[in-house]
Amino acid sequence: MTRGVAGLVTPGGGAPAKDVVVTTRGETASNTIGVARTSANVKQRFRKQVFAGQGGIKAGTLKLVLGAYGVPDSGVETVTDGYTAESHFEVGGVAYPFNWGGAASGAIPSGSASVESGVATGHPDVAAGTTCYLVIAREYAVGALPVFDSAPGTGTTGDSAHFAVAGTNAGIGVPGVKTATGGWTAQSSVFDLPFVLVGQQLNAATAIYCIGASVERGQQDSSGDGTAGGGYIRRGLNPSGGTKHAFLIGAKRGESLSTFLASGSKRLTYLKYANSILLGFGGNDFTNGVPVNTALASLSTVNDLIIAAGVERRALLGMVVKTDTTDAYATIANQTPRSGFAAFRTAFHAGAASLGMTVVDTSSSWEDASNLGYWKVNGTANWSTSDGTHPTTVRHQEAGVALQSQLGSFLTW
């Protein structure tokens, strides 16, 4: 055994035997409840590009985890309608179908938090960083409400999305690009959807769960999986051409510690698939006027839940600066730090450290080096932020590039 980040005992040597998230793009906080299905679009098919994390994937262990709930930006965890799923995993130009209790498809009941498939039959060892694909087909009843990861966007390289009538052959078991043939119609905009790929690692490495709020979710960045867009967490853990880390994201816009504790039970079930966690809390607690000691009491409760689930490494992402402006954030001189923010942040970070968490200083990605506590400026209106709370794409880009360096030994198992 070796002693890891924040003084926690972590496994050394070979890979752990438990199932953990093993690829990029895991999602547990899908925020869009779709419109009712019609007979023309009750079946949906998605092809998603994913990358194996630094632990790789051990042959014959990969499973798909799906649910039937959403976490709308304006609300709490919400039950969505059930569906029937069928899926395969592609690597090296070969498709490996998942089984569901020995069957080719499985039921995902309404409101379920996490339903595991059987393994992707016959898949080989997959090395760290390998480009892979996941094909998922979901069939709903007419009138059912589906859940998606986000508002429609242009999608990610290698992705596709189609819809069809009930019973249309989804091409499960057939590798390669999916096209608008065989009864399938391309969606004009590509929705993402919630899924997590879990399995055993070839070598011990981080398997990260990130929960928090809008900045961790990627608000005000373009959509994407991290290779281009998706927010600084995705950009940092799945950079284009850089080191890929296995992760899943359960962050929700507007989330505070109290709202997460009140309505996070389904997302908490995914702690079992992580050995490391990144927490992005504190910002909304401050905005909502929660006293710092109250926020820290809630953080302690969350910390206890994380430890009880067997997650070995815990880190708090440093709170992102908050200011007001009279010139659309074009200059330092016309920014005003929000009253009480600096003191709250200092106390909150110290409290997290006292709980044994690593506090990750991300301030260099957001703040002016000569004027800490103020957004970076270049004389251009709304260059770093448009509201003093959420970073723009240029800041998400810079923060994504810096994230792995800022996390440091947290990423080294």
Residue 154's pLDDT is what?
A: 57
Residue 32's pLDDT is what?
A: 86
Same domain membership, residue 390 and residue 253: yes
Same domain membership, residue 157 and residue 285: no
Same domain membership, residue 378 and residue 347: yes
Residue 143's pLDDT is what?
A: 98
Query: Which tokens belong to 382?
Result: 């709304």
Residue whose pair of structure tokens reads 């079930």 in the numeric block: 269
Q: In the listed set 193, 222, 242, which residue is the last one of a domain according to the structure? A: 193
Cα dihedral 399, 323, 249, 296, rounded to 10, equals 120
- For the purposes of burial, counting CB atoms within 10 Å of the CB of 12, is it exposed (0-12), middle (13-18) or buried (19 or more)? exposed
The tally of domains found in the chain comes to 2
Same domain membership, residue 175 and residue 220: no
Q: How far is CA 57 from CA 54, 251, 281, in A?
A: 9, 25, 31
Residue 98 lies in a domain: yes
Query: Secondary structure of the chain in the HEC alphabet?
Result: CEECHHHCEECCCECCCCCEECECCEECCCCEECCCCCCCCCEEEEEEEEEECCCCECCCCCEEEECCEECCCCCCCEECCCEEEEEEEEECCEEEEECECCECCEEECCCCCCEECCCECCCCCECCCCEEEEEEEEECCCCCCCEECCCCECCCCCCEEEEECCCCCCCCCCCCCCCCCCCCEECCCECCCCCEEEECCCECCCEEEEEECHHHHCCCCCCCCCCCCCCHHHHHHCCCCCCCCEEEECCCCCCCHHHHHHCCHHHHHHHHHCCEEEEECCHHHHHCCCCHHHHHHHHHHHHHHHHHCCCCEEEEECCCCCEEECCCCCCCCCEEECCCHHHHHHHHHHHHHHCCCEEECCHHHHEECCEEEEECCCCCCCCCECCCCCECHHHHHHHHHHHHHHHHHHHCC
Torsions phi, psi for 98 (to 5 deg): -80, 145
Same domain membership, residue 331 and residue 245: yes
Phi-psi region of 26 (alpha: psi -120 to 50; beta: other; left: phi over 0): beta
Residue 230 lies in a domain: yes
Give dist(CA 177, CA 169) in Å, integer: 15
Give dist(CA 202, CA 14) in Å, integer: 8
Give dist(CA 213, CA 255) in Å, integer: 5
Give dist(CA 19, CA 402) in Å, integer: 29
Residue 188 lies in a domain: yes
Same domain membership, residue 183 and residue 145: yes
CA-nearest of 318, 321, 324, 319 to 387 is 324
Same domain membership, residue 176 and residue 305: no
Q: In the listed set 151, 166, 193, which residue is the last one of a domain according to the structure? A: 193
pTM of the predicted protein model: 0.94
Same domain membership, residue 385 and residue 283: yes
Same domain membership, residue 84 and residue 46: yes
Residue 81 lies in a domain: yes
Residue whose pair of structure tokens reads 């005000």 in the numeric block: 220
Cα dihedral 30, 35, 40, 45, rounded to 10, equals -10
Residue 11 lies in a domain: no
Taking a C-beta distance cutoff of 8 angstroms, is the pair 30, 148 a contact?
A: yes
Residue 352's pLDDT is what?
A: 99
Residue 116 lies in a domain: yes
Residue 142: give the domain boundaries: 30-193
Given a cut of 70, the residues of the chain with pLDDT beneath it are: 1-17, 150-155, 189-191
Give dist(CA 278, CA 317) in Å, integer: 7
Residue 9's pLDDT is what?
A: 33
Same domain membership, residue 131 and residue 48: yes
CA-nearest of 259, 394, 388, 399 to 317 is 399
Same domain membership, residue 323 and residue 182: no
Give dist(CA 54, CA 23) in Å, integer: 9
User: Radius of gyration over alpha carbons of the chain, in Å?
Assistant: 21
Residue 22 lies in a domain: no
Residue 71 lies in a domain: yes
Find the CATH number of the domain harbouring 270.
Answer: 3.40.50.1110
Same domain membership, residue 238 and residue 169: no
Q: In the listed set 150, 171, 193, which residue is the last one of a domain according to the structure? A: 193
